[in-house]
Every structure is written in C-alpha cells, then in structure tokens.
Chains A and B, each alone.
Chain A
Amino acid sequence: MKIRLGTMFGDIIRSLFRRPATQLYPYERRPTPERLRGNLVWDPSKCTGCQLCIKDCPSDAIELIVLDKVAKKFVLRYHQDRCTYCAQCVVNCRFKCLNMDDQTWELASVNKEPFTVYYGKDEDVAFLLEKMARDNAGESGCPE
C-alpha cells in the first residue's frame, strides 16, 4: 500500500466549510428518542400493591407505602438519585401502572431533597406527608 503524507487533508478542508459537529447543548436541544428512559411515573389507579417492582429493583429506588391495603391506598416513594433507569420495574409490573417518561431527564440539583418524589392520589400523599411530619416532630420532642 502506498504511504502518503497528510491522508486527512480532504477531511480538514471539507470541514472548514461545514457546520461543526458540536452541539451547543443547553441552547440547542435535540428531540429525545421515543424509548428514552427518563423519570419513573406511577399511575396509582391500576396498582394492586403486589410489590413485584420493588423486589427486582437493583438500587432500592422505589418504596411502596401501604396506607390502607383494602382500599388500595398506596403511595410510591421514588428516589430519583438512586434510580439507575434500567426499567426493570416497568417490565415487572403486570398492570402497566409504571412507566418511564421520555421528556424529563435533566436531573440536577444542588441538594438531595427534590430527588425524593411521592406519587399517589393527592389526598394520600398529603396524608402521608402530614403523618411523617407528625412523627418527626414527635421523635425530636420525645427522647431527651
């Protein structure tokens, strides 16, 4: 094979007259692919509380808090910062109540709080948060 100098000459000249391949990310956004595995979303109406999703989660990112088993009152506590976005829970769910959103994927924050997300019917979540607040207050007041 012939040995030559500057085999990439054509490339570099062409690229002078071409748009750079770089994407200026925050200003320039490409549409996300359909199958993008972004944030987990949960539809409480279909859930039976079987906990199959939790069993196989590789990173303990989801917890199902049972408020009332008979009335199917559940709250899903989802830790975005632990989630590995593998979608195993979506596969495991037999009632199709879990899904991964393809739009919300920019997950940056300076502290950890926004990463704990509660899903559920509004009144259930409110009830749970209130209960937790009460418990916390009780705990801190109690021991000393």
Chain B
Amino acid sequence: MNNLTVHPLIGLLLFPGGLFLLASGLLYEWIDRKLVARFQNRVGPRFIQPLADLVKLLAKEEISPEGVNKPLFFILPVVALAAALTAALYVPMAGFVPAGSFRGDLIITLYLLSVLTLCLGLAGANTISRFAIIGATRTLTQLFSYEAPFLLALLGPAIAAASWQITDVDFYAQQHLWMAVTQPIGFLVALVGLMGKLELPPFDSPEAETEIVAGAMTEYSGRGYALFRLGKNIELVIGLTLVATFYLGGLANPVQFLIKTLGLLVVLAALQSLFARLRIDQTVGLWWRVGALLALAQLLVLFLLR
C-alpha cells in the first residue's frame, strides 16, 4: 500500500510523524471541542481555533519562573512532544502500515505514551508553584491508577491475537469479529482509560481549574505550553487509533481510520460532558477497585475460553 519513493527520513517528517500528526492532532482537538460544545448546546470554536491557539502560544514570550531547574524546564515539553511523535511510528496511523514495527512494539508504544504524562508530572514538580506541585502529585497519582487497567485492557486483544506486535493484532482484528463485541469489558476499560490518560473530564482533577488553576502546567507559558498541548493532542489521535485498531476490527484503510476514530471521539466527547469531575481519591478508587478488577476478569475469561 505504501510505495512512495521519497527518502524514508523525509517521508517520516511528513507521514506518519511530523506534519500529518500535527495537523491531525489539531483537527481532532477541534472536533473534540466542537462536539463537547454541541453537546452543551453551545456553538463551539471554528476549525481554525486550535491552530490559532498554537500559533499564538508559539509567538508568546516564554517565562521561566524563579526557582526552577532551567534546562529541565525547557527540555521537558520537547521530550514530551518527541515521545508522543515517536509513539506514532508503531501505530497504524490513518490505516497505513506503521513506519516501524517489531515484536513487542505494543509495550514500547504504551510507555512512550506515558512519557508525556511523566514529563508533565516532572514539569509540575520542577516549579515551586503550589498549584503546580499539587497538580504534579495528582498527575502522577492518576498515572499510577489508570496505567495498569489500561495496559490490561489492551492486553486482551493482544492475547487473542497471540502477539505483542501492533500490526499482528491489527491484522488479526481485521480477520475476526470486532473485539468490542467479543471483549466488551476490555473495550470499556480501554476507552475510559484513554480518557484518564488524556486527563479529559471527568478525570481532569490533575488540572482542575477551579481548584489548582492549571495543575502541573500552571507555570508554563508560550512555547513550552504549546508543546505540551500539542503533545496531548497527538496522544489523543494515537490513543484513538490504538483503541480503534484493537477493538473496532482493525484499520485497513484511511476511510476506516476516519470513521472509526471519529466514532470513538463522539463517544468520548459525550462521556466528557456527562459527568461531574471526580476527586483524585475517587479516580484512584474507581480505577483500582473497578477498572483493574474488570480488566482482570476480562483476561480471566479470555484465558478460560482459549
């Protein structure tokens, strides 16, 4: 399918990395915002808004607050974005064959996605702002709570396909019935886990504006903030792709990619607007008491049925 003749490195800049990811990240952010707005009976932003925000932030002065480790302060957003971009290499973006693929790339992808959250937590802990520190603690607490169930939920399809390689799972999913049907619990946990990962409401207590302003990102401005936001947007696209690949019958072509990820995004936006924010203790409780157990039960069923 992918028989372009450009140099692979240049190709990488355009697709699946670089430009394509940036554009799709911004696009998905807009769709998300627009959908939430429509669910709330508002108008919502115009499609150019995320780009405008990005350009504005990039053009702004970046202020480094007192008392931070400067190199760390500047490098963290870059690392976060880079991690998110790298993660895209192993995922069937837009339904194409991933740029790189090897045995066990699922684990690598998941950990690359977590690097963003880790960077965020570090960034918050790096400053002396009280809001940022509380935000950082909450970010990391949340990371530890959703990570295990999310991983377990993605393990289900991998076990079914008997491979740790995303392309294999993709291929397997295309051949079989949608795993959202065969493994409904896993699908639910994965979807909600994605919301936790992206700190979307109701799991947005790490950046609850009414309590701790912007959480870990309170002290960030200008470029650093823009990069973090961009990283999150890209994570949104990758996360959606991953869940769609695993649970919605794989991604064979761009049309399928669009339909499936956008469908997921609609559900995600609806979930975002349906609930009140959970407190951090409630989030942790929910994940460990409900999420992890459910995912484990799903795995157990899988093992028993094999």
Direct contact between the two chains A and B in their complex (CB within 8 A): yes
Q: Are the C-beta atoms of A20 and B39 separated by less than 8 Å?
A: no
Flag whether B19 is at the interface (Cβ < 8 A): no
Bin chain A's interface residue count. Answer: 10 to 19
Q: Which residue of A lies closest to B35 (CB)?
A: A16
Q: Are the C-beta atoms of A12 and B43 separated by less than 8 Å?
A: no
Q: Are the C-beta atoms of B43 and A9 separated by less than 8 Å?
A: no
Flag whether A8 is at the interface (Cβ < 8 A): yes
Flag whether A138 is at the interface (Cβ < 8 A): no
Kindly list chain A residues whose C-beta atoms are within 8 Å of the C-beta of B182: none
Q: Are the C-beta atoms of B38 and A22 separated by less than 8 Å?
A: no
**Distance in angstroms between the alpha carbons of A8 and B273 in the assembled complex:** 9
Kindly list chain B residues whose C-beta atoms are within 8 Å of the C-beta of A9: 270, 274
Q: Are the C-beta atoms of B39 and A15 separated by less than 8 Å?
A: yes
Q: Are the C-beta atoms of B43 and A24 separated by less than 8 Å?
A: yes
Flag whether A134 is at the interface (Cβ < 8 A): no
Q: Which residue of A lies closest to B271 (CB)?
A: A6
Q: B42-72 interface mask toward A, CB cutoff 8 Å, 1 = contact, 0 = none?
A: 1110000000000000000000000000000
**Distance in angstroms between the alpha carbons of A21 and B40 in the assembled complex:** 9
**A15 contact from B40, B274, B275, Cβ within 8 A:** B40
Q: A1-31 interface mask toward B, CB cutoff 8 Å, 1 = contact, 0 = none?
A: 0000110110111011010111010000000
Q: Are the C-beta atoms of A21 and B42 separated by less than 8 Å?
A: yes
Q: Give the B-binding residues of A (Cβ under 8 A).
A: 5-6, 8-9, 11-13, 15-16, 18, 20-22, 24
Q: Give the A-binding residues of B (Cβ under 8 A).
A: 37-44, 270, 273-275
Known contacts A11-B41, A20-B44; 10 further A-B pairs (Cβ under 8 A): A6-B274, A6-B275, A8-B273, A9-B274, A15-B39, A15-B40, A16-B38, A16-B39, A20-B38, A20-B42
